[in-house]
Every structure is written in structure tokens, then in C-alpha cells.
Amino acid sequence: MKIDYLILGAFETNCYILRLNETAKECLIIDTGLEAGRLIEFLKQNNLNPAAVVLTHGHPDHVAGVTILRENFPDTKVYIHKLDAEMLTSSLDNCSLSIVPTLFLEDQSVISEAGIKLKVLHTPGHTQGGICLYSKDEGIVFTDDTLFADSVGRTDLGGNMAQLIKSIREKLFTLPDDTKVYPGHGPATTIAHEKANNQFLQ
């Protein structure tokens, strides 16, 4: 798998662009950030066609860029967990955007787009419909705003810290220790490092 990433918007959201290999032109996007202008530039400069975008949760710093993405690539499918779907059309949650999802995800759903397969791990806590995306074959997991390098997601925007910690322990810390972690913000890490060093999880 070829993984490119961009840090987008004022909230410095990690946007991941996944391809089957270096020469593939179809891609799968994970989160679009608040401002996706640089994402559109990257896609066009590299002649990439986004088959779908997976939204790890419904907060605007992860989803607002879908609007401009679809203006430029109208056939792009939009995935989100069913429990966060309403956040895409709620003016309170997403700054009055109106994003219509294509497909609703559940725990253990398998996303198969652009030659990429990712297993959905429902990890509520940051939001009720927050998800992580796991590839066993690649030994990687995209952890949304659930787990960061040496930290965890905030829960003061309608989340629940006890639920978040439970999600991490039961859904992420059961993955192999050498699994590489790609979070929604900040640098990559590993499951082993977070087990040993994350002060929120000791």
C-alpha cells in the first residue's frame, strides 16, 4: 500500500491518501480536513481519482473539506459510521455544511475501494460514531481522534472519557504490538509504544 498524507487546515488534521501501489491512479481518502484546497491540488497534480472518502467521525475539522472534494470529484463516495451521520447535516456540529453520506458503516464493516481493504473498528468516546480503520495485511491502523502519539482524543465536545479508554483497550490494544498507528492529528506511533508510554492508559 502506498500512503501519502497531508496536514490540512487550522486544526492540522491528518488527511491520508491510500493507493494500492505507486503507479495506481485510483485512491481512497481518510478524512478531508477543514480546508481541502491542498488535497485537491495533490490529487490533480498526481492525476489521482478518489473512489471514496472515509470520515472517521463527524467533527468539522475532519469532514468540512468533503464539499470542495465533491465539487471537483462528484463521483466520490462518502463513508461514515451511522451514529455520526447526522453530524454531517447538523448546523451545530459542522458549521452549516450539508454533506450527504453514500454509505453507513458499522463495527466490523469492511471497506473495499481502490484496491484497498480496511476493517472498521467502532471506537466511541471522542464521538459516538468514531471509527478506526485496520489493515491486518499491512500491519497498520488509522486511529482517528481516538488514540494519538502519547495522548488520547478530547471528550469535552459530547464525548466520554471512560468510553474512549474502553475503546482503546478493547479495540486497539488487542492489535499486534508492532501495528503502526496513524492518528487523526500528530505523528505516527505504534501500539507497543502507546501501551508502554501513554500516560492516559497506564
Main-chain dihedrals φ then ψ at residue 27, nearest 5 degrees: -140, 165
Distance CA 66, CA 32 (A): 6
**Would you give the end-to-end CA distance of the chain in angstroms?**
33
pLDDT of residue 55: 96
CATH code, 63: 3.60.15.10
Domain span at 157: 2-201
Cβ–Cβ < 8 Å for 68, 29: no
Cβ–Cβ < 8 Å for 54, 28: yes
pLDDT of residue 88: 80
Q: What is the pLDDT along the chain (202 residues), one digit of tens a residue?
A: 999 999 998 899 999 999 999 999 999 999 999 889 999 999 999 999 999 999 999 888 889 899 999 999 999 999 999 999 888 876 544 454 667 788 999 999 999 999 999 999 999 999 999 999 999 999 999 999 999 999 999 888 778 999 999 999 999 999 999 999 999 999 999 999 999 999 999 8
State the total domains in the chain. Answer: 1
pLDDT of residue 9: 87
